[in-house]
């Protein structure tokens, strides 16, 4: 096992602006205070499942410096996008140092987070396994570093205009998020609550925020790509479950939603949970 599900750099680029708008700035400010102010050595941030570095680009300007970011991902091709680009700047306008690491999450250890002042992981907890979730929490506990883990899907989606078939498709999508992939059973919408509970059981402080993607005609490509992926996953799950009712509805339902989008009449709210944990 080399990591969690593969994603494309194009999809990460498409969603980056909405991710940035959606993450909890209240928790980010609290995380910045917990990480500490400028010191004799750089403030060291470890970003798990970093992808192309979008979390770094969003959070680095909100943190004091100097900063050093360690980007952990199982896909070196994605982290290359971050290391090849001009680095973001800290709160004082200084460029941050960036270093990539190929890190399988199921084997994450406290040594991998050595020297961490803050650990981050954006849009990750819903696509990990129970073993990987425990490894992430155990490594953070051992390192004693606060963890800011935003944008894990809750499974709740609101489409407008409402359609009675939304409920069936949402249920199938949520089951798809819990599927087994190459022997790995994903946590899906339970990922963030499980990680929150693990930190609380360890005696850490935990704060959460319910955050949302709000998708509409302002970014039709993102809305279209999200809906297609959401519906594809529901149909794939229906095929596995032999859910004939959903499969019979899929063509007309998708045609209706696409027609609504073409006329600017479709919108969606996708709910996420942001988690911040730190030692007492």
d(CA 174, CA 190): 10
User: Is residue 227 pLDDT above 50, yes or no?
Assistant: yes
In which region does residue 252 sit, left (phi positive, over 0), alpha (psi from -120 to 50) or beta (all else)? alpha
pLDDT band at residue 15 using 50, 70 and 90 as cut-offs = very high
pLDDT band at residue 74 using 50, 70 and 90 as cut-offs = confident
- Please tell me the CATH code under which domain 9-155+182-215+270-278 is placed: 3.40.50.150
Mean pLDDT calculated for residue range 49-76: 95
User: Is residue 105 pLDDT above 90, yes or no?
Assistant: no
Instruction: Please say whether the beta carbons of 40 and 64 come within 8 A.
Output: no
pLDDT of residue 54: 97
pLDDT band at residue 85 using 50, 70 and 90 as cut-offs = confident
pLDDT of residue 3: 44
Q: What is the pTM of this model?
A: 0.94
pLDDT of residue 210: 98
Instruction: Determine the Cα angle at 129 with ends 123 and 133, to 5°.
Output: 70
Which of these, 168, 167, 110, lies nearest to 141 by C-alpha position?
Answer: 110
| Structure-token pair, residue 227 | 């809906």
User: Is residue 39 pLDDT above 90, yes or no?
Assistant: no
pLDDT band at residue 104 using 50, 70 and 90 as cut-offs = confident
State the average pLDDT for the chain: 94
Percent of the chain at pLDDT above 70?
97
- For 179-219, what is each residue's pLDDT tens digit? 998 889 999 999 999 999 999 999 999 999 999 999 999 99
User: Is residue 256 pLDDT above 60, yes or no?
Assistant: yes
- For 124-151, what is each residue's pLDDT tens digit? 999 999 999 999 999 999 999 999 999 9
pLDDT band at residue 6 using 50, 70 and 90 as cut-offs = low
User: Is residue 234 pLDDT above 90, yes or no?
Assistant: yes
Ranges of each domain in the chain: 9-155+182-215+270-278
């Amino acid at each position: 096992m080399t990591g969690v599900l593969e994603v494309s750099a194009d999809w990460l680029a498409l969603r980056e602006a909405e991710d940035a708008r959606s993450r909890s700035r209240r928790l980010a400010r609290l995380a910045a205070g917990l990480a500490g102010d400028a010191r004799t050595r750089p403030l060291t941030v470890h970003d798990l499942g970093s992808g192309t570095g979008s979390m770094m680009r969003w959070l680095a300007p909100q943190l004091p410096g100097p900063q050093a970011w360690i980007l952990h991902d199982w896909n070196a091709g994605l982290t290359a996008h971050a290391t090849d680009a001009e680095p973001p700047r800290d709160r004082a306008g200084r460029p941050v140092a960036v270093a990539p690491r190929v890190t399988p999450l199921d084997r994450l250890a406290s040594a991998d987070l050595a020297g961490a002042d803050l650990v981050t992981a954006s849009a990750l907890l819903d696509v990990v396994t129970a073993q990987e979730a425990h490894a992430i929490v155990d490594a953070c506990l051992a390192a004693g570093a606060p963890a800011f883990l935003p944008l894990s899907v809750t499974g709740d989606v609101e489409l407008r205009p409402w359609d009675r078939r939304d409920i069936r498709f949402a249920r199938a999508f949520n089951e798809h998020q819990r599927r087994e992939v190459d022997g790995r059973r994903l946590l899906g919408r339970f990922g963030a609550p499980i990680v929150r509970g693990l930190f609380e059981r360890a005696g850490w402080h935990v704060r959460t925020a319910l955050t949302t993607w709000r998708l509409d005609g302002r970014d039709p490509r993102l809305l279209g790509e999200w809906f297609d992926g959401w519906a594809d996953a529901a149909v794939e799950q229906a095929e596995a479950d032999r859910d004939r009712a959903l499969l019979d509805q899929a063509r007309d339902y998708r045609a209706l939603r696409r027609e609504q989008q073409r006329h600017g009449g479709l919108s969606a709210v996708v709910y996420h949970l942001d988690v911040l944990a730190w030692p007492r």
